[in-house]
Amino acid sequence: MEVLFGCELDVKAVLLLSGGLDSYTAGALAREQGYELYALTLSYGQVHDCERDAARQVACDLAVARHVELSVDLASLVNSSLTGSKVIPKDRVLDDHEIPTTYVPARNTVMLALALAWAEDLGAQSIFIGVNALDYSGYPDCRPQFIQAFERLAALGTRAGAGGGEFKILAPLIEMSKAAIIRCGISLGLDYSLTHSCYDPGTSGAPCGRCDSCQLRARGFTEAGIRDPLLG
Amino acid sequence: MEVLFGCELDVKAVLLLSGGLDSYTAGALAREQGYELYALTLSYGQVHDCERDAARQVACDLAVARHVELSVDLASLVNSSLTGSKVIPKDRVLDDHEIPTTYVPARNTVMLALALAWAEDLGAQSIFIGVNALDYSGYPDCRPQFIQAFERLAALGTRAGAGGGEFKILAPLIEMSKAAIIRCGISLGLDYSLTHSCYDPGTSGAPCGRCDSCQLRARGFTEAGIRDPLLG
């Protein structure tokens, strides 16, 4: 609830929720700020589709008002390690500023576009996304200038925007290290055993420990001095 | 084919193809300019889903290199006359600058986002969209400033853009009247009997003649002094 000139307003926000630890933490921060959350999870043909199960658990833990799972077959349009048409790189040297084959063209543009559609329909002006431009894989659609450009687009491409309204694309983790994100989440009482990060889990769902996502997660927990509950 | 410094280059473009007369004409103009077309049709839960059949016929007539049909259930996120949750307005006074209930929140943002994903994967730098900001229903995501904002977003949110490349969102009809669009298409030899425009066709697929889309189409053919082949 937000108090504005003495009136209490329900403040709705759409949360892009993947089931990873970043979007979980972004959602928890939004909840802390009093937003009523509407969580959107996209199945786009990713090979690590088990993150959907994690998204359901995380949505439940965040007590979202509604959780919608949508499917769009991006795998029929694009080639990426994450959509099964390229090998998932392992033991890569992080921080080399090369965009890896796990990049999925325009994925965040597609996700934000769908979140925008829902936000406008809900009358929500805020969209939360857990992108991070520090401990990340170098994807261009995780950078602050991309987020700002989407905000501008959202104002121009909607009924609300045409009427003078605006949409805020809130990326509270964008300049945080993975360790800082984890510390923040732990301080909020989050249970990271609910999350899934690995791009190439075995049939048991166990993390491979060698893909970018596993490496970034491991480095974050190590730097935070916290044990990853997924590792038993 | 484009001749550049003596080298012939195949120039690919993604075409957003609805099955209406605007996207057909935009595609024909792109083809005239030598583009090899990759047509993308989105089923988003629209009630007038028969436009998909028209899109297939139009794609065939345009001899596109590939036609992909994608589904995304926007109807589960938004309320609109076009997704069945509101009545389709009939006999509305056009040109009253009110955004009607047929507006689908962020539809063009979603479509352009998907087109961008495909374009980047194909190595295409051009996306054609048949939006029109003159004889239209006042949708905010048909305006030139929206198209420009998407171009900027595309440059920032992609691997190609991060490498200094750019994407052009080409909307060749944006400032044309419906009559001018129709005259242009006829001069290019287009067969508008292949297209579908009506928002509320009967079970036979026959146009209702009273929705915005039928009215705009009828006015265009009348002003162009050409008989609409759909009307027999």
Q: Give per-residue pLDDT as tens, B196-215.
A: 999 999 888 889 999 999 99
Q: Specify the pTM.
A: 0.94
One DSSP character per residue, A40-89 reads EEEE-S-S-TTHHHHHHHHHHHTT-SEEEEEE--GGGT---GGGTSSPPP
CA distance A73 to chain B (A): 7
Say which CATH number the domain at A130 has.
Answer: 3.40.50.620
Answer yes or no: do B146 and A140 touch at CB < 8 A: no
Nearest CA in chain A to B150: A153
Is the Cβ of B209 closer than 8 Å to some Cβ of chain A? Answer: no
Q: What is the pLDDT of residue A93?
A: 80
Whether B119 maps to a domain, the answer reads yes
Whether B157 maps to a domain, the answer reads yes
Whether A97 maps to a domain, the answer reads yes
Q: Which amino acid is at A124?
A: A
Is the Cβ of A125 closer than 8 Å to some Cβ of chain B? Answer: no
**Residues of chain A falling short of pLDDT 70:** 1-10, 95-96
HSE-CB at A51 with a 13 A cutoff on CA atoms is 26
Structure tokens at A137: 């894989």
Cα B84 from Cα A7, distance rounded (Å) = 34
Q: Which of B108, B110, B117 shows the shortest C-beta gap to A78? A: B117
Whether B232 maps to a domain, the answer reads no
Is the Cβ of B154 closer than 8 Å to some Cβ of chain A? Answer: yes
Whether A232 maps to a domain, the answer reads no
pLDDT level of residue B4 (50, 70, 90 thresholds): very low
Mutation pick from A12, A77, A145 vs chain B, by most beta carbons of B within 10 Å, is A77
Identify the bridge partners of residue A38 per DSSP, sorted by sequence position.
A14, A66
Identify the bridge partners of residue A15 per DSSP, sorted by sequence position.
A39, A128
pLDDT of residue B2 exceeding 50, the answer is: no
Q: What is the pLDDT of residue A5?
A: 46
Q: What is the pLDDT of residue A96?
A: 66
- Domain membership of residue A111 as a residue range: 2-225
What's the domain count of chain B? Answer: 1
Answer yes or no: do A71 and B68 touch at CB < 8 A: no
CA distance A228 to chain B (A): 31
Cα A52 from Cα A232, distance rounded (Å) = 21
CA distance B35 to chain A (A): 19
Q: Which of B72, B112, B156 shows the shortest C-beta gap to A72? A: B72
Q: Which of A105, A117, A156 shows the shortest C-beta gap to B110? A: A117
pLDDT level of residue B142 (50, 70, 90 thresholds): very high
Contacts with A197 (C-beta within 8 Å, 6 or more apart), sequence order: A20, A21, A207, A213, A214, A216, A217, A230
Contacts with A51 (C-beta within 8 Å, 6 or more apart), sequence order: A18, A19, A20, A196
pLDDT of residue B164 exceeding 90, the answer is: no
Whether A105 maps to a domain, the answer reads yes
pLDDT of residue B66 exceeding 70, the answer is: yes
Q: What is the pLDDT of residue A66?
A: 98
Q: What is the pLDDT of residue A204?
A: 82
pLDDT level of residue B128 (50, 70, 90 thresholds): very high
Structure tokens at B27: 């595609």
Question: ipTM of this model?
Answer: 0.93
Nearest CA in chain B to A38: B77
pLDDT of residue B140 exceeding 70, the answer is: yes
pLDDT level of residue B61 (50, 70, 90 thresholds): very high
Secondary structure tally for chain A: helices H, strands E: 7, 7
Q: What is the pLDDT of residue A6?
A: 41
Whether the CB-CB separation of B111 and B42 falls below 8 Å is answered with: yes
Whether A66 maps to a domain, the answer reads yes
Whether A37 maps to a domain, the answer reads yes
Cα A111 from Cα A109, distance rounded (Å) = 6
Answer yes or no: do B113 and A118 touch at CB < 8 A: no
Cα A102 from Cα A212, distance rounded (Å) = 9
Answer yes or no: do B76 and A68 touch at CB < 8 A: yes
CA atoms B75, B78, B80, B86: torsion sign? positive
Q: What is the pLDDT of residue B74?
A: 94
